[in-house]
Amino acid sequence: MSKQEQKRRYKEDFRSRILNAAKKLFVEEGIEATSIRKIANAISFSPTTIYLYYKDKSDIVYALHLEGFSLLRQQMQVLMHVEHPFERLKAIGKAYLSFAVSEPGYYELLFMKKEPMQFLDDNCVESEWEEGDRVFEMLQETIKSCQEQGYFKNMDTSTLSLQAWSTAHGIASLFISGHLKKMNNLIFSAAEESVFLESTFQLYVNMLERIK
C-alpha cells in the first residue's frame, strides 16, 4: 500500500471516529450540550485536530445527516426492484423500521432532533432537503405504482405517502423511546426481539391493508 493510500485511509478512519463519537454524544447529551472539546475528549485528541476536518459543530451535524440518509437510502434502494408495488411498499416499511432499530443514533439525529433541520434551514436553503427528499421520493414512487394497479383509489399520493411515513415513524419513535416494547410485551408477550419486531411491523402492514 502506498503512503498516499495509507494517508487517505487514515483520514477516512479519523473522520469516522469523529462522527461516531459525535453521534453518540448528540444522542446521550443533546446536540446543544455537546461541544467540539467533548467530541475531542471522546476520541483522545485535541479540538484543534478536529478543526482540521470539520469547521464547526454544525458541519459535523450536517455530515452525520448526509451519512445517515445515505445509509437509509441504500437500504431502501435495493427494494425498488421488488416487482409488485404493494409488496414493495410493505418491504420499504420494514426496512425503515429495521433502520430505526439497528441505527437508533442515526435515526434520532435524522428524524427526532430539530437541530439538523435548523442547520439545513440556515445554511442549505437552495438545496432544500435533498437527501431526505430522495428517500421520500422512493416512497411516493412506490405508492404511485400501487395506485396505477388499482390500490388506494381516489387518494392523494403525497398525502398517503405522508400517512405511511408517519405511521412507520410513530412506531419507530415509540420503539426507540422504549414505550412500544413495554406495550408490546403486555399485548403480545413477545420474548424474542425478532418476534417483537415482526409484531410491530404488522401494525404498519395492518394500516396499509385497511386502506388499500
Residue 191, pLDDT score? 47
Q: Rounded to whole angstroms, how far apart are CA atoms 1 and 130?
A: 36
pTM: 0.79
Residue 143, pLDDT score? 93
Residues 6+ positions from 45 with CB-CB distance below 8 Å: none
| Contacts by 41-45, CB closer than 8 A, 24 or more apart | 43/17, 43/18
pLDDT band at 206 (very low <50, low <70, confident <90, very high): confident
CB 26 within 8 A of CB 113: yes
Phi/psi for 141 (5° steps) reads -60, -40
* pLDDT tens-place string over residues 165-189: 998 888 888 878 777 666 655 555 5
The CATH topology of domain 57-211 is Tetracycline Repressor; domain 2 (1.10.357)
Residue 18, pLDDT score? 94
* pLDDT tens-place string over residues 65-119: 888 888 999 999 999 999 999 999 999 998 998 898 888 888 888 888 777 777 6
Residue 79 has which C-alpha cell?
427494494
Phi/psi for 152 (5° steps) reads 50, 50
Q: Do domains 1-54 and 57-211 have the same CATH topology?
A: no
Domain parsing of the chain, residue ranges: 1-54, 57-211
Q: Rounded to whole angstroms, how far apart are CA atoms 180 and 204?
A: 13
CB 90 within 8 A of CB 205: yes
CATH homologous superfamily of domain 1-54? Answer: Homeodomain-like (1.10.10.60)
pLDDT band at 128 (very low <50, low <70, confident <90, very high): low
Residue 201 has pLDDT above 90, yes or no: no
The helix/strand/coil state of 30 is coil
